[in-house]
Amino acid sequence: MTGTVPASAGPAAHLSEVDIKEIGRELDQIRDKVIAGLGDGDARYIRRVITLQRGLEVGGRALLMASLLPPAWLAGTTCLAVAKILENMEIGHNVLHGQWDWMRDPQIHSSTWEWDFASPAGMWKHSHNFVHHTYTNILGKDRDIGYAFLRVSPEQPWHPVDLAQPVSNAILAAGFEWGIAIYDVELERAWRGEKSWAEALSQLGSVLRKATRQVVKDYVAFPLLAGPAFLPTLLGNLTANVTRNVWSHAVIFCGHFPDGSEVFTEDQLEDESRGEWYIRQLLGSSNIDGGPLLHIMTGNLSHQIEHHLFPDLPSNRYTEIAPKVRDLCQRYGLRYNTGSLVRQTANVWKNIFRLALPGPKPRPPDNPPISATA
């Protein structure tokens, strides 16, 4: 009996079929143990985070009402930026993954949550939860590899437009929520005839309606409520949104595009087993080292490896899962890619600049389906 190892020959060719099956069994056991242990403590955690986030938002907006005073502007903008990061990363992203659906709380459920982000929740769940997490790092299937316009891997062909990607990536970072909203429409698929323009335009209409609500809320309604502090409040809201966007962009790029993140081919999906799927998640993801504050501010996507392995497990459990996953990688000789935020960010930007130029040549063609032998 043979199986297809979903990785290049270097990182995973040494694994036997028995190894692959055992990796799948061990990771399933980790998942099952966490699910069996979910309870009141986990529910209290997410409710505390939501209470904290809402308190920070109310406090920040109240302080901005008095933002003619510079200390009030700085404090209000800071509180609002932190609130938006928490809402986007630790709450919205994870609630929409269904991580808290087990609570059966209609107020904290993936089917009812709408986040403070330009992309409508339903569209994001399709492009992210289904497409990205099913086809993680499969070139030609996972649209998150470069978000359809960045070259982030040597396996992607070079085009002259890539010369501008250091600038376009900086613009994307500042307006990340808007870039993701347009990305979710899949306009490039409509250009290629892979979806109808009627569907794309309908989705674009949904984005425009959501975007209008976001713009009115942050740049019209709340500044008007501030009266004489209209302009400082508008600037505070803009600063908070850009801060949230830059932070989210950095965290997500550090989890997907530093050195060591493997890219796979479509034929490696054929007959992919549970263990092989797990291995693909391990080799295609990267973590960020840090303490509790970093983890919560990243939505625990500092544990991107664990998130890709278990995307629907509550994020507060990734810290306890991580040592077990690292140990498994050590025992089976698999890379556990992790580093500081500074290191991973520098590495990502180095690749953005390097891959803006022609070359380097794709890695040697040693990653076709590899028959694993028992």
- Percent of the chain having pLDDT more than 90? 86
Distance CA 261, CA 285 (A): 6
pLDDT value, residue 310: 98
pLDDT value, residue 11: 80
Q: Retrieve residue 183's tokens.
A: 């990305």
Mean pLDDT of 272-301: 96
pLDDT value, residue 10: 52
| Residue 83 near residue 53 (C-beta atoms within 8 A) | yes
DSSP-derived pairing of the beta strands 287-288 and 338-339: parallel
pLDDT value, residue 359: 86
Going along the chain, which residue ranges are E strands?
Answer: 3-5, 287-288, 338-339, 370-372
pLDDT value, residue 374: 32
Residue 271: Cβ-neighbour burial (10 angstroms; 0-12, 13-18, 19+): exposed
- Buried b / exposed e over 210-219, threshold 16 CB at 10 Å, is bbeebeeebb
Q: Retrieve residue 52's tokens.
A: 């904290």
pLDDT value, residue 13: 83
DSSP-derived pairing of the beta strands 3-5 and 370-372: antiparallel
Q: For the CA atoms of the chain, what is the radius of gyration? A: 21
Express each pLDDT in 67-121 by its tens digit: 999 999 999 999 999 999 999 999 999 999 999 999 999 999 999 999 999 999 9
Q: Which of 171, 149, 176 is nearest to 162 (CA)?
A: 149
Express each pLDDT in 295-305 by its tens digit: 999 999 999 99
Q: Retrieve residue 57's tokens.
A: 């938002």
Q: What share of the chain is helix, strand, coil (3-state, %, to 5)?
A: 65, 5, 30
Express each pLDDT in 33-54 by its tens digit: 999 999 999 999 999 999 999 9
Mean pLDDT of 296-322: 98
Only one residue has tokens 């509180």, namely 79
Please check the confidence at residue 7 and state whether its pLDDT lies above 50: no
DSSP-derived pairing of the beta strands 3-5 and 287-288: unpaired
Confidence of residue 328 (pLDDT cuts 50, 70, 90): very high
| Peptide bond just before 360 cis, omega within 30 deg | yes
Number of structural domains found in the chain: 1
What are the helix (H) ranges across 186-286?
187-191, 197-216, 222-225, 230-256, 274-283
| Residue 258 near residue 286 (C-beta atoms within 8 A) | yes
* Domain extent for 29: 3-372
Query: CA-CA distances (angstroms) from residue 354 to 132, 176, 222, 288?
Result: 25, 22, 43, 22
Query: CA-CA distances (angstroms) from residue 101 to 113, 123, 228?
Result: 11, 19, 43
DSSP state of 164: G
Q: How many CB atoms lie within 10 A of CB 335?
A: 16
DSSP SS3 for 9 = helix
Express each pLDDT in 173-194 by its tens digit: 999 999 999 999 999 889 989 8
Express each pLDDT in 153-172 by its tens digit: 999 999 999 999 999 999 99
Express each pLDDT in 203-254 by its tens digit: 999 999 999 999 999 999 999 999 999 999 999 999 999 999 999 999 999 9
| Residue 17 near residue 2 (C-beta atoms within 8 A) | yes
Number of helical H runs and strand E runs in the chain: 18, 4
Mean pLDDT of 57-67: 97
Least confident of 48-57, 119-128, 262-271, 321-330: 262-271
pLDDT value, residue 159: 95
DSSP SS3 for 338 = strand
